[in-house]
Amino acid sequence: MSGFKRSLSLNTTIALVIGGVIGSGIFMKPALMASQLGSPILLISVWIVAGIITLFGALSNAEVAAMFPETGGQYVFFKKMYGDAFAFLYGWASFAVFNTAGNASIAYVFSQYTNYFVELPHFSAAIEKTIFFHIPFVGNIYPLENFGVKILTVLLIVLLTLVNYLSVSYSGALQRVLTSLKAIAIVLLIGGILFSGKGSLHNIVTSMPSMPHGWALVSAYMAAIAGAFWAYDGWNNITFVAGEIKDPQKNIPKSLFLGLSFCIVIYVLVNLAYIYVLPIDKMAASPFVASDSATITWGLIGGGIIAAMVMLSTLGTTNSNVLATARVTYAMSEENRWFAWAGKPQKKFNTPGNALILNAIWTCVLIFSGSFDMLTDMLIFVSWFFYGMSTLGVFLLRKKLHDTPRFYKVWGYPIVPLLFVVFVAFFLCSTLYTDITNYKNGTTPIINSLLGTIITCIGIPIYYFSKKKA
């Protein structure tokens, strides 16, 4: 479908999975999750449950990816499962909501942590609130908030887009280096804290007095799950570049299993390290939980080292996402006249150059539209709807294309994909209910899940007006 070379090896695809997953989430979300749950044991359980659920969905999608190893990933899958209209809706949502918002939010963290070393310029609170856009039933958006952070984030997106525009090989090599450095740094962080002797094992079993109970606990647990899902998001990047992976029938399932298993272990150990030196109440109040943990262990220099590590980690994840997500826009453009320009490859460098440019432009728009938490909450709701639909499609393809050779079959079928679909349905319903309740109570200025849904639904009329004539 793409005409691009199959130049990505197993090591590179594993690096894409790990590099696409381990980014900002493990450094930004644990404090918020701790405040939601109030229990270190529940916090650890969230990371395990979310990891296993994510692995179930990834392995289910791997069956389809091995059947259709083409550039575009789930866009290609949805065409086989539900037809052109639904595939376009996914392509539109990936472009307008979760792929580009994901790139924006991860790069945003890189810029936020730059403030640890150099204070970036910003407007006063009064000026930040002067200009805003009101979206009915959703809330207000303030583009001038954290203006210096947003400008640096835009520059980072432009730079990494340029690297990916010039060469897939250069980007892949950069990804392998950044992922290796990231893995080494995280292992050193875990070992340095857990073996420092400066924490307490008692922290692991001590909960906050304000820990929620009953239905409030269920609501808090699902909210924390959403944060963990964000930290695990990015595993599907390799399906976007399936048309450029060597021996995809073997390497896609293998890289997903090995990469995600590594991430689950790392996330659990990192959170144990945080809890070991920070009681759950202090962890909940920490704006930079990783740096605060390192400061207790190694002093002020430790906080600086961890801040640099976070920047390195998010740089690698942003590069991985920029490389992969443009492939969906590229695949979608081949059958839609409004996006036809994005489907033209850069012939000199053999890359989806126009799709990269289009994604970068919209990513920059989203950067100015919101904050890290707004972007992540919006994209997780929409992306997990499509994750659920792609896993549901595994059942449809087993019947529709039962004679098609399957180089890989999901382990535990039908239980594993069924559990994933049921959990996603419950997650989406509870998230929408919680978001609307929090908005009514005034605890959040915007209904993020509803905003993502509205932007996604805009793709329906766009499809019918812009579809190429046969």
Q: Degrees (nearest 5) of the Cα angle 99, 103, 109?
A: 145
Q: Which helix (H) or strand (E) holds 90?
A: helix 84-93
Grouping H, G, I as helix, E, B as strand and the rest as coil, residue 71 is strand
- Domain 10-466: give its CATH code: 1.20.1740.10
Give the model's pLDDT for residue 137: 59
Query: Which residue do the tokens 């945003």 mark?
Result: 108
Reported as a single tens digit per residue, the pLDDT across 138-170 is 667 778 788 899 999 999 999 999 988 887 677
Helix (H, G, I), strand (E, B) or coil at 458: coil
- Number of alpha carbons in the 13 Å side-chain half-sphere of residue 346: 18
What is the overall mean pLDDT for the chain? Answer: 85
Kindly report, residue by residue over 183-220, the tens digit of the pLDDT.
777 887 888 899 888 889 999 988 888 888 888 888 88
Which has the higher per-residue pLDDT, 420 or 329?
A: 420
Burial 190-214, CB ≥16 within 10 A → b, else e: bebbbebeebeeebbeebbeeebee
Q: How confident is the model at residue 38 (pLDDT cuts 50, 70, 90)?
A: very high
Between 463 and 141, whose confidence is greater? Answer: 463
Residues 6 or more apart in contact with residue 48 via CB below 8 angstroms: 264, 268
Read off the pTM: 0.80
The closest of 311, 309, 212 to 270, measured between CA atoms, is: 309
Confidence class for position 470, pLDDT limits 50, 70, 90: very low
- Number of neighbouring beta carbons within 10 Å of residue 392: 18
Contacts of 175 (CB under 8 A, 6+ apart): 12, 15, 16, 19, 316, 319, 320, 323
Report the pLDDT value the prediction gives residue 7, as an integer from 0 to 100.
67
Integer Cα distance of 143 and 58 in angstroms: 35
Distance between first and last Cα of the chain = 18
Helix, strand, coil percentages for the chain (3-state, nearest 5): 75, 5, 25
237 and 260 Cβ atoms separated by less than 8 Å: no
**HSE of 314, CA atoms in CB hemisphere, 13 A:** 27
Least confident stretch, 228-232, 314-318, 359-363, 390-394: 314-318
In the block, tokens 């294309």 appear at 401
| Residue bearing tokens 């997953």 | 21
What span, in angstroms and rounded, lies between the C-alpha atoms of 284 and 290?
A: 12
Specify whether the CB–CB gap between 178 and 319 falls below 8 A. yes
Mean pLDDT calculated for residue range 7-32: 81
- 190/442 Cα distance (integer angstroms): 38
Q: What contacts 224, CB < 8 A, 6 or more positions away?
A: 33, 36, 37, 42, 43, 46
